[in-house]
Structure 1
């Protein structure tokens, strides 16, 4: 079934620095596509990996600092976008140090974009500052008239009273005579923006707004906030319907099940290979290609495969938690498809169970690392590294007047760029096999077969595979075979 809805979560958090643990586990349980946070109160020393699993989300932040705000403490906006979508940061739309905003562009189609703006208006903002900001935004929207805009954030319009306007679910404000409120009403009217949030805070007011240039937005109060709600700012969930699925196409891939391989047949097939007849090139790169061609052919014939579901879960998730998450997603899809309230009830129950299990798994993971820090310090430093890293692969790369958004294409672009700095990357490397008498070749006779075999034998069979996707224990198996050994041919 095509999913044409973007699920957005919003919360004014009133500070995340002391709530990273709670936010991280809640995010791991979330099925939202976009997560918008205002008043994050974050500072540069807090890594995004402490809040999000970066394998699942691209994270954009605008922490409050001297260059973008008149104040030093508090503030800050954050947007996390699922890696299922192509998203990039748009900067310098309003160029203001008063309103804190973060603009994200998502591709709806080849010619149409969805712009999501997470923003925070300080309560002491002046009338002129509001109007100047709205004028700048209007100019940008005029230049992108065919695109869709969604604004979410804390607008601090405490004097506004919102009432239903139509059956579409949008609301209109009472007419306010004094500025800047009239300017805000004019801004919404001119840009055909509707307000969809009707959830009131403890004082009966609506400070957090969800504005959209489309009528296809539904907003409700979140029944499972990421962190404890502030009395003035209920957590919100919004469904933005786009007409068709904006998610990146699913790319399935096959994985080899090496533990179920037919190693007797592998041994027999390799014994029939006459390496001296096929490794005849003097170009080391060509010989490596031939070697891998033979290995992959043998692997394809004797190692079963399975289709990858392309799902990434944190290493500390238990199997029970993963199964609960899959069941939760299944019932959510069923509810969206048929509208049966029993499916939603079951979905809600599973979501609560997932939240509990994720917290238990995470706490257990932390306890295990702490209890074994002396005997196994490597796990501790792996954990520190995991929560200290920032994004490894940029989600958008512009090079040679091209905009690249696919991870593989970006990695290949980096590879091509850096390889161009080598003196002569196309010049073949000449090597010398022991039975060749060409004196112009480079000799490797000082590296013995025993040394190669010893190096392969020293590989840690419990480690994962390298760039060739062949696990270390497979190479160790090849070196232990009788007759002409694999090490001999290397």
Structure 2
């Protein structure tokens, strides 16, 4: 099968052929055809006959527009068929598609894609199937009708630039959300071959991997202290990968979680005493980043972070040099930049940003390049040029000067332009800049994690669960004398019940703040769509529409945030968890680092980071027995602690007190099951607890726990700065709550009065009171 293209817009799909004007398959029919392709071949034959008769009998739409065009070299088009191409089902699909698509033949005409003007009654279908079609490149522009000698402008009128090659079978036109689907010429063909094939036919279309571009936003904020609330609320809707601020004026008392949410990893360098200054770099948390420190970087406002992308590293530095600074300050910044430059490999890139306050420097452009060269002598600028850095910022302030400079190691890979301030007011002395960096690789690595369905106990049928538990055969559990075997029987029965009564779903991770609503989401989408149109067209009208949409979103976002704060305050007694969740977001960040180090090991993937945490937490425990020690008090050697006896009535009472939590622990049984199924679970749990006490054996399954790393202080990139918090299952916690009062009563006379840790109504405070 030859390769080709299928084009669709948001409102319709139209197939253009050299000699055919053909109907489309409807959405419902195609969906049913594809869904049953592997199940029922006879159904395909019936659908084939039904579709063919319908297509042959249906008259032409009166609204269909046709134009006569001259023919250019053509491309064979097809749509990829799901499943094995050699299977009988797939051959039936292909045969059905051929019969449908070859009907309604009309020579020397081609249908024009004009949205709903072609077939307004049909639903857009983005996964329809087809056989080989011929797509011509006409001499006449389909939109304006202007003659076109090369045949390329007609394509550009339908398929806007730029076009993205996403996967070997897909080419996406991003600005207008239109797509071209490309199927393979043969099974051995690569995506590069398909890209070259399309470039050969559509000369003026520039195929570029848009996901290789890194978006960087730069602004001199002139102080963030009074703008933190607005920046925090608006940052949830930002799309920049990296945000660089100078003159933040922040103090160490301001937490980074108050500036940006966990969506960004924030790196800061503040002035500890004097007012002003300060630099900040915020990086998308999904990117692997780390701060670069060295003895070369001392007593200057200089910050450097390293982005680790597949096969390449990008170093981004931010500097602030106060006005009228002496040469030693510039020399220290130059030394720091030279140190970072020495770490670059062949493919790495270095981007030097900052407010360098060299107002007297003049710049001249280089022809056929975006590089600016200094026309005046300055040792700092000469030093940067000596290490092969080029200044690419050409955006002047309102005085016609350049205070904020941008030096890059690969000027051909960086495009810089002035942009509107995303959330903070712009300083006229320091225009806001946006950098588009071509990394040559994917910015985000494709996740290999397979989504796993998890049970939704909120929608569980607890009446049916109680009935099935009561009807289950528990005889093997009651007869078992091995606690681990009995526990396995218990969980096997419960899991079978859960499979029947508890629905499952794929978890969705939302990055939206708690005050977000549908109207805010709609305005955010409108704002993003208008911004893309402005970037594609560059017109002032598009920019005005974008500013209006952004203003509407900002106003509503601020109103929703105020209502959320008021709700947290007024509903504190009814819902204290919501209040403390808000407080915790301001006190600390809940995000984990994108890279981690422990001793001589480093990790940047989720699995490797988890293994490093496990390796560190394992070192905090000792497996050896402690040696014999002498104590200042006498320990009785012949005291006998009676084994507590658990009654069914007391167990039932404790089950009814369990908090109805819907999130399960490591054993998969949440607290809501224990609470709402207390009467039916009381007897089997009573057997397990009694057997564990009689055999003096705690089940292995109840020893499992989720260990959550909790950051204490210091760098988040160091595993030693975390402590582990264990999340136990609900059933062993219930067991602990039952036997703890018995053990405390029996051991009270054996515990020293000097013991304050892990004792009820005692703490470090009561321990200190012993010495005051």
Q: TM-score range by the shorter chain?
A: 0.7 to 0.9
Q: Please point out which of 209, 215, 218 is paired with 1:7.
A: 215
Aligned-residue offset at 1:47: 0.9
What are the ranges of 5 or more consecutive residues in structure 2 without an aligned counterpart?
1-165, 167-209, 626-640, 690-772
Report whether the alignment pairs 1:384 with 2:384: no
Higher relative contact order (CA 8 A, sep 6+): 1
1:105 aligns with 2:306: yes
CA 210–450 in structure 1, closer or farther in 2 if over 3 Å, else same: farther
Q: Distance in 1 between matches of 2:662 and 2:294?
A: 46
Displacement of 1:330: 6.5
Is 1:118 the counterpart of 2:325 in the alignment? no
Q: Are 2:279 and 1:77 equivalent residues in the alignment?
A: yes
Q: CA–CA distance in 2 between the matches of 1:193 and 1:44?
A: 33
**Higher mean C-alpha displacement, 387-396 vs 237-246:** 387-396
| Equivalent pair of 2:469/2:680 in contact (CA under 8 Å) | no
CA displacement 1:219-254 (0-9 Å, x = unmatched): 222324321222212222222121222224344443
Q: Secondary structure at the match of 1:160?
A: coil
Q: 1:35 — aligned with what? A: 243
* Separation in structure 1 between the aligned mates of residue 642 and residue 512 of structure 2, nearest angstrom: 47
Partner of 1:60: 267
Q: Is the 8 A contact 2:598 2:616 kept in 1?
A: no
Count of residues paired in the alignment: 460
Q: Could you say if the C-alpha distance between residues 376 and 134 of structure 1 is closer, same or farther in structure 2, counting changes exceeding 3 Å?
A: same
Q: Which of 253, 256, 265 is the aligned partner of 1:45?
A: 253
Q: Does structure 1 residue 161 correspond to structure 2 residue 357?
A: no
1:113 deviates by 0.9
Tell me the SS of whatever aligns to 1:367: helix
Tell me the residue number matched to 2:505.
306
- State whether structure 2 residue 557 is matched by structure 1 residue 358: yes
Which of these residues, 668, 671, 675, is aligned with residue 472 of structure 1? Answer: 671
**Contact 2:404–2:430 (CA under 8 A) maintained in structure 1:** yes
1:369 aligns with one of 568, 577, 585:
568
Asked if structure 1 preserves the Cα contact closer than 8 Å seen for 2:296 and 2:339, the reply is no
Partner residue, 2:329: 129
Q: Name which of 283, 289, 304 aligns with 1:87.
A: 289
Comparing 269-278 with 120-129, greater Cα deviation is found at 269-278
Kindly indicate whether the alpha-carbon contact (under 8 Å) linking 1:34 and 1:82 is maintained by their aligned counterparts in 2. yes
| Alignment-derived partner of residue 439 in structure 1 | none
Determine the structure 1 residue equivalent to 2:402. 206
Q: 1:305, CA displacement in angstroms?
A: 2.8
Using the alignment, how far apart are the partners of 2:530 and 2:646 within structure 1?
Answer: 60
Deviation string, structure 1 residues 192-230 (Cα, Å, up to 9, x no partner): 323332222222212112222222222222324321222
Q: Is 1:453 paired with 2:652?
A: yes
Deviation for aligned residue 1:158: 1.0
Aligned counterparts of 2:521 and 2:474: Cα–Cα separation in 1:
46
TM-score by length of 2: 0.53
1:71-123: CA deviations, max 9, x gaps? x221111111111111111111632313x11111111224x211111221222
The partner residue of 1:221 within 400, 404, 418 is 418
Q: How does 1:245-256 map to 2 (within 5 A)?
A: 245-250=442-447, 251=449, 252-256=451-455
Please tell me whether the aligned partners of residues 94 and 133 of structure 1 are also in contact (alpha carbons under 8 angstroms).
no
Contact 1:160/1:173, CA 8 A, preserved across alignment: no
For the residues of structure 1 that align with 2:669 and 2:547, how far apart are their CA atoms? 42
1:398 aligns with 2:398: no
Q: What is the CA-CA distance between 1:12 and the residue it aligns to?
A: 1.2
Aligned position for 2:711: none
Q: CA RMSD in A?
A: 3.7
Q: In the TM superposition, what is the alpha-carbon distance from 1:315 to its structure 2 partner?
A: 1.6
For 2:419 and 2:277, the matched residues in 1 are separated by 22
| TM-score between the two structures when normalised by the length of structure 1 | 0.80
Aligned to 1:69: none
Cα separation, 1, equivalents of 2:663 and 2:542: 40
Report the alpha carbon displacement of residue 319 of structure 1 after superposing the two structures with TM: 3.3
Contact 1:221 1:236 in 2 (8 A): yes
Query: Offset at 1:313?
Result: 1.7
Q: Which secondary structure does the structure 1 equivalent of 2:232 belong to?
A: helix
Partners of 1:166 and 1:449 in 2: CA distance: 89
Alignment check: 8 A CA contact 1:229 1:235 kept: yes
Change beyond 3 A, Cα 1:245–1:487: farther
Q: Quick one: structure 1 residues 258 and 340, their matched pair in 2 at CA, closer, same or farther if it must change by over 3 Å?
A: farther
